Structure 1
């Protein structure tokens, strides 16, 4: 059984900004999925950047070795980044994931994958004294990936089986030897990853109103929460809600996301929440 990284991406007619890292074979399908997107591609090969087919797809090609050179993009540029095996091939995985995180918008998503060190064939090779990949690659188990992505500020992480044995019987011997086999991990050669820069709840908050409006709401809520000219803050927040069309569920969710003393703030804003 095999699922490819592009299978994780949903079609979209939006004018998204997309980045593909060392994945020129996916550009045609990506253009089909996102016909109105602005697509950028990083490749170390001039031949790919100068290919007429790549140009015909309307792709902006950048020639560089992303493992050694900084990304030539401003922070918060891309809605989606497809970087297959970036974790595995990066010289400094932490620095690479941080650079990709910074290149994503607050509502952006990274799509990547890795070879599973707990795959039964890899374990068998290691048991026999063989290292099954070249020395310029890293091998990971899922807990290490979760820790690495958490450390590099990705808020939600989802795993999907990439390449998996149709018959998992070959992994049973390792399970019988005491190796945990949650989600058929021992039978899965590659794991695909969707890593979101923000939680789903936070993404919904960020999509509806401007960054300036969200910062103002957060500032006023914190003034109310910590009794810093709270009455004036409530009045200003009421005026802001009327002016910007902020509705009850949005403000209630915002309180949940940004306030430590959530119930206190809800009590202070009960009248306002009932009004809007």
Structure 2
């Protein structure tokens, strides 16, 4: 069984800003799937920009080795980053992932992959005293989780990229004491999706501007800790009316941002009434 990073993508008309790092086979696929998107492509292959399949596409090209040179983009500049083989070939994975996190918006997503060091083919080679891959990094899935957690990604999903259809070899390694959750020993390559925010927080961030969310959080925290509570409740009502903040959103925002969520919701109950439901 074999699939690529397109398995995560649904496509659509959104004008997303994509950063594609040394992953040329994906450029045309993403451009077709997201026809309104702007693509920034980083590659060492200068001839790629002249290929006919990229003609007429909304693509900005940067020719560099992103493993050696710092990415020349401002913070919070991209909605999505796709980087095939990034973890496999990066010289400093932690530093590179931190830089990518900074380049993503606060609801941005990174798509990548890695070779599984716990794959039976790798284990068998090690058993024979061989390690067939010299220039590439291999990872256990648990180590990738720690690496992405350490670089401030909040929500991580994995799917098999290359997986044996038959699982006979697994049994031998299981009998030797190797853990084999979800047939992990049969997976040669994993694909992952790592989001800067959890799904719940991303939904909250995606509706209103950062300025509105910042003011909303400020008012709610003042209400929560009884700082001129009545005045701030009045200001909150005005903000909700002016910006069209509906009651379900306000309730979710309180649950995600306030330590004393239930008490704060009680204090601003008038704002959570049917008056501010989305019409």
TM-score (structure 2 length as normaliser): 0.95
1:1-276 aligned within 5 A: 1-134=1-134, 136-274=135-273, 275-276=275-276
- CA–CA separation in structure 2 for the residues paired with 1:46 and 1:270: 59
Q: Report deviation, 1:55.
A: 4.0
- CA–CA separation in structure 2 for the residues paired with 1:52 and 1:272: 56
SS of 1:143's partner is helix
- CA–CA separation in structure 1 for the residues paired with 2:49 and 2:64: 10
- CA–CA separation in structure 2 for the residues paired with 1:55 and 1:105: 28
- CA–CA separation in structure 2 for the residues paired with 1:78 and 1:57: 18
Q: Report deviation, 1:212.
A: 0.5
- CA–CA separation in structure 1 for the residues paired with 2:97 and 2:72: 15
Q: Report deviation, 1:7.
A: 2.1
- CA–CA separation in structure 2 for the residues paired with 1:50 and 1:67: 24
- CA–CA separation in structure 2 for the residues paired with 1:263 and 1:31: 45
SS of 2:138's partner is coil
Q: Report deviation, 1:272.
A: 2.2
TM-score (structure 1 length as normaliser): 0.96
- CA–CA separation in structure 2 for the residues paired with 1:52 and 1:191: 31
Structure 2's unaligned 5+ residue stretches are none
Q: Deviations over 1:132-187 (max 9, x none)?
A: 211x3221101111011011111100001110001011221111111111111000
4+ residue stretches of structure 1 with deviation over 6 A?
Answer: none
Structure 1's unaligned 5+ residue stretches are none
SS of 2:113's partner is strand
- CA–CA separation in structure 2 for the residues paired with 1:222 and 1:230: 10
Q: Report deviation, 1:51.
A: 3.7
8 Å Cα contact 1:119/1:185 also seen in 2: yes
8 Å Cα contact 2:37/2:58 also seen in 1: no
- CA–CA separation in structure 1 for the residues paired with 2:205 and 2:34: 22
Q: Report deviation, 1:57.
A: 2.9
- CA–CA separation in structure 1 for the residues paired with 2:127 and 2:93: 26
- CA–CA separation in structure 2 for the residues paired with 1:163 and 1:84: 14
- CA–CA separation in structure 2 for the residues paired with 1:28 and 1:55: 10
8 Å Cα contact 1:119/1:188 also seen in 2: yes
- CA–CA separation in structure 2 for the residues paired with 1:130 and 1:49: 40
SS of 1:81's partner is strand
